[in-house]
C-alpha cells in the first residue's frame, strides 16, 4: 500500500498477483524477471516476512499464510533464505562463528555451546572460508566473504527449503562455481528444495531444473529449463533470453516495443505486457490471459500461445 500525499487515500500496489508455484523436494526452481517484477516480494511472502492479502502458502500440507511469529518459530529451521545484500543481512559487530552458530542456539536449543561451535565451523569450512576468519567481526569481511557467511548461516540448520535471492551475485566466477557445487552436494544428500532468484540467465541454464518468468507481479511463463531456453513461447521470455551476453543486441530491440510500464495500482483489464509486446493487438488490451498448459509441460500466460501457436496481427 502506498500513499502519494499525506491525506490522500491509499493506493494498493499488486506486487505479486495470481502466482501459482509448486516446488518439490530436491528440485531447483529459478525465478527470473527484470527488477521490480516481484521476485523478492514473493520470496519474503513465502517465509512469512511479508504479509499477504489473499491466497494460500502451504508447506508439507500446512497453511502458512496468516501465521503469527510464534507459530512460525518451529518452521524456521526448515525454511531459510539467503538475502540479496550480504553485508546488510549480517550483524557487523558479531564474530563470524557466532553469526553461523546463532540459528542453532535459537532453533536447536538442545545442542551445547561446543557442539554449536563445531557445527558452525564445519559449515564455514564447507562454504570455503578459512579458520583465520572465524573470529573476525562481519564488518571486517569483503562482500564475497559476507555472502559465504550468509550461506553458511542459512544451511547450518539443514533446511528443507532454501530461498537464494541473488545469493552469488557478490562472488567472483570461481567462488560462484564453488557455491553452486556446494548447493548441489547438499541437495543430493538431503533433498533440499531451492528457489533461486537471479538475473544471471547463464547460471539459470546450468543450475536450475525449472524456470519461472515473472513480469510486474505475474507469471508469464514457466517450463523445464531445457524447454524454456530451447523453445521460449512468451514474448517477454524471448526478450529476456535475448539480453544474454553474446546475443545480437538488435534482437532484443526487435522483441520489445517502447512503452510505459503497467499501472499495478488499478484493476487489471488486459495483459500486463501489452504496452511492450510487439505482437499485441486490441484483444490483449481487453482480456487478462489465463495460463495455458502445453504438451511439453510449459505453462504460458498469453492469449495467443498454444501448442499450435500462430502469431497475431501486429497492433498498429
User: Is 25 part of any domain?
Assistant: no
Indicate whether 178 and 222 sit together in one domain: no
Instruction: Express as a percent the part of the chain with pLDDT over 70.
Output: 92
Indicate whether 190 and 224 sit together in one domain: no
Question: Which of 160, 181, 208 is a domain's end point?
Answer: 208
Average pLDDT, the chain: 88
pLDDT for residue 213: 97
Range in 19-33, 108-122, 247-261, 274-288 with the lowest mean pLDDT: 247-261
Indicate whether 119 and 254 sit together in one domain: no
Measure CA 305 to chain center.
25
Asked if 129 contacts 72 with a C-beta cutoff of 8 angstroms, the reply is no
Indicate whether 223 and 123 sit together in one domain: no
User: Is 309 part of any domain?
Assistant: no
Indicate whether 120 and 236 sit together in one domain: no
User: Is 16 part of any domain?
Assistant: no
Number of domains, the chain: 2
Residue 159 vs residue 269, higher pLDDT = 159
User: Is 204 part of any domain?
Assistant: yes
Question: Which of 173, 208, 243 is a domain's end point?
Answer: 208
Question: Which of 208, 243, 258 is a domain's end point?
Answer: 208
192: phi then psi, degrees, rounded to nearest 5: -55, 130
Indicate whether 119 and 267 sit together in one domain: no
Indicate whether 164 and 66 sit together in one domain: yes
pLDDT for residue 44: 92
41 vs 49: CA distance, rounded Å: 9
User: Is 294 part of any domain?
Assistant: yes
User: Is 32 part of any domain?
Assistant: no
**Residue 165 pLDDT > 90:** yes
Q: List the domain range (segments joined by +) for residue 116.
A: 38-48+61-208
User: Is 316 part of any domain?
Assistant: no
Residue 311 vs residue 176, higher pLDDT = 176
Indicate whether 174 and 225 sit together in one domain: no
pLDDT for residue 254: 77
Asked if 59 contacts 78 with a C-beta cutoff of 8 angstroms, the reply is yes
Classify residue 288 by its DSSP letter: P
Indicate whether 130 and 228 sit together in one domain: no
198 vs 204: CA distance, rounded Å: 8
Q: Whole-model pTM?
A: 0.88
Instruction: Express as a percent the part of the chain with pLDDT over 90.
Output: 61
Indicate whether 176 and 287 sit together in one domain: no
Helix 113-126 and helix 96-107, axial crossing angle in degrees, nearest 10: 120
User: Is 174 part of any domain?
Assistant: yes
Amino acid at each position: 500500500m502506498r500513499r502519494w500525499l499525506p491525506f490522500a487515500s491509499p493506493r494498493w500496489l499488486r506486487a505479486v498477483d495470481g502466482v501459482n508455484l509448486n516446488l518439490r523436494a530436491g528440485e531447483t526452481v529459478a525465478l527470473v524477471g527484470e527488477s521490480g517484477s516481484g521476485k523478492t516480494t514473493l520470496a519474503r511472502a513465502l517465509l512469512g516476512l511479508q504479509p499477504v492479502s489473499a491466497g494460500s502458502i502451504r508447506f508439507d500440507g500446512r497453511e502458512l499464510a496468516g501465521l503469527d511469529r510464534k507459530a512460525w518459530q518451529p518452521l524456521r529451521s526448515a525454511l531459510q533464505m539467503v538475502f540479496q545484500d550480504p553485508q546488510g543481512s549480517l550483524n557487523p559487530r558479531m564474530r563470524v562463528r557466532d553469526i553461523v552458530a546463532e540459528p542453532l542456539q535459537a532453533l536447536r536449543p538442545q545442542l551445547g555451546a561446543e557442539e554449536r561451535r563445531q557445527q558452525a565451523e564445519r559449515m564455514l569450512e564447507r562454504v570455503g572460508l578459512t579458520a583465520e576468519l572465524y573470529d573476525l567481526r562481519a564488518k571486517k569481511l569483503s562482500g564475497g566473504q559476507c555472502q559465504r557467511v550468509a550461506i553458511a548461516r542459512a544451511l547450518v540448520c539443514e533446511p528443507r527449503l532454501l530461498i537464494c535471492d541473488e545469493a552469488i551475485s557478490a562472488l567472483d566466477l570461481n567462488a560462484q562455481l564453488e557455491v553452486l557445487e556446494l548447493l548441489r552436494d547438499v541437495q543430493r544428500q538431503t533433498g533440499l528444495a531451492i528457489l533461486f532468484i537471479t538475473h544471471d540467465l547463464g547460471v539459470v541454464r546450468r543450475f536450475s531444473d525449472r524456470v519461472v518468468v515473472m513480469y510486474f507481479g505475474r507469471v508469464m511463463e514457466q517450463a523445464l529449463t531445457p524447454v524454456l531456453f530451447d523453445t521460449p513461447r512468451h514474448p517477454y521470455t524471448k526478450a529476456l533470453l535475448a539480453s544474454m551476453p553474446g546475443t545480437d543486441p538488435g534482437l532484443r530491440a526487435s522483441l520489445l516495443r517502447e512503452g510505459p510500464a503497467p499501472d499495478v495500482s488499478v484493476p487489471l483489464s488486459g495483459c500486463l505486457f501489452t504496452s511492450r509486446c510487439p505482437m499485441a493487438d486490441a484483444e490483449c488490451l481487453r482480456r487478462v490471459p489465463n495460463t495455458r498448459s502445453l504438451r511439453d509441460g510449459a505453462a504460458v500466460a498469453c492469449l495467443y500461445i498454444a501448442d499450435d501457436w500462430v502469431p497475431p496481427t501486429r497492433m498498429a
